Amino acid sequence: MIRPAAGLGHARFYLGEGGYRATGLPDPGLWQYSPLVRFLPNLTREVLRRKVPGVAGWIDQKHRRTRHEWLNTHLEGGEAKFAPVDKLTR
**Does 81 reside within a domain?**
no
Give the DSSP per-residue string, 35-84: GGGGHHHHHHHHHHHHHSTTHHHHHHHHHHHHHHHHHHHHHTTS--S---
pLDDT(87) > 80 = no
Encode pLDDT of 35-55 as tens digits. 999 999 999 999 999 999 999
* Gap between the terminal Cα atoms of the chain: 40
pLDDT at residue 1 in the model: 59
Taking the alpha carbons of 3, 9, 14, 17 in that order, is the dihedral positive or negative? positive
How far apart CA 89 and CA 32 sit, in angstroms, is: 47
**Does 60 reside within a domain?**
yes
**Does 70 reside within a domain?**
yes
**Does 13 reside within a domain?**
yes
**Does 64 reside within a domain?**
yes
Encode pLDDT of 5-14 as tens digits. 889 999 999 9
Q: Which residue has the higher pLDDT, 57 or 85?
A: 57
Q: What is the pTM of this model?
A: 0.58
**Does 84 reside within a domain?**
no
pLDDT at residue 62 in the model: 96
Give me the domain span that covers residue 50. 4-75
The count of domains in the chain is: 1
